[in-house]
A = this chain, B = another copy of it.
């Protein structure tokens, strides 16, 4: 539906002299009770506008009305949270009417949430909520570094308990905010704790690129150069900051590491080569290269039996259509040959944050028990 531009005043208020009145104002996305979704985009001069949404395999064309509003209705869509963007004459843009943005260094996607009738594990519900804290720590090499820390409900009012900690790493080109704003890690944990399916824990979500030593255009986080610099920061600055500022149980059996994509590569490298620090190591569609297996797995491959003793859970999750599906399966073959124990979880779909939320809610109940 179209609205008169009653919001013009506030648009000006926030965008100052540069504000430019749209011919019409639209609501987008409009999620209907039957789980269909209407997407709208105002672009009178555009020749072609498509919707690129992660519930569709391919971008779908949108149609323009007499006011220059492009729209398309999709679904019913399976309830979940999906990244999407509009492709306007070949240029991908976020939905200007949707405030929920996918935090990323390389592209702008919006997020549409189809809630459905029954709450999902990532649905914000009226249960006790933990606190999400935005903090800074300092690195001699990298400067002032951001980190987002989840503390469970009641943490502030309890001065005695020391909590187990999960270090949770984002994918390449993501930021320290992606695990909460797209992955809903905090909400998933709030709900699992309320359901007594996960133990109260602290979740540490750092920024995974060793910027500025490693440039933001240097590709995947799992490159050797980034692994070396990130390891230095993780062990030398991040862990000491977390352990001196939060009530953490410092036993290795109370320390887990998990990560997605390039951050999954970081997770396996840090977790399996520092078995004195981590007992739980979980790769979510981890980014790896076959030629680098030996170099990146020096410690576990040197003593598989000790690795089985040290690592209580080595876990892999990957979608059947995921771009990392083949390399993850090649890696597991090598683990089989070495006799290194692991758990494997295979899902439908591809290299998406829908799967990340599924992987996270699958491992949470396995941690620290």
Q: Residues of A at under 8 Å CB distance from B?
A: 3, 6-20, 25, 27, 42-47, 52-54, 56-59, 83-85, 87-94, 96-97, 99, 101-109, 124-126, 129, 131-136, 138, 143-144, 156, 159, 171-175, 178, 180, 186, 217-221, 245, 261-262, 287, 321, 323, 350-353
Contacts and interface: CB of A to CB of B under 8 A. Distances in A.
Given A13-B262, A13-B351, A133-B133, A7 B106 contact: yes
A61 to B, nearest CB: 15
Contacts of A46: 89, 91
A349 to B, nearest CB: 8
Given A13-B173, A18-B85, A45-B90, 16 more contacts: A10-B106, A10-B261, A13-B171, A13-B220, A13-B287, A16-B352, A17-B54, A18-B59, A44-B90, A94-B94, A96-B106, A97-B106, A133-B133, A134-B180, A156-B245, A159-B159
A309 to B, nearest CB: 33
State the copy count for this chain. 2
A47 B92 CA distance: 16
Contacts of A18: 52-54, 56, 59, 83-85
A153 to B, nearest CB: 10
Contacts of A180: 134
Contacts of A174: 14
A369 to B, nearest CB: 27
B45 A7 contact: no
Nearest to A101: B101
6 contacts: A11-B107, A13-B220, A13-B262, A45-B89, A99-B104, A134-B186
A213 B88 CA distance: 34
A55 B121 CA distance: 44
A126 B140 CA distance: 11
Contact of A217 (B6, B102, B134): B6
Contact of A108 (B96, B107, B135, B218): B96
Given A10-B219, A94-B94, A134 B132 contact: yes
A140 to B, nearest CB: 11
Nearest to A170: B14
Contacts of A89: 43, 45-46, 88-89
Contacts of A83: 15-16, 18
A126 B142 CA distance: 12
B171 A14 contact: yes
Nearest to A18: B52
B323 A20 contact: no
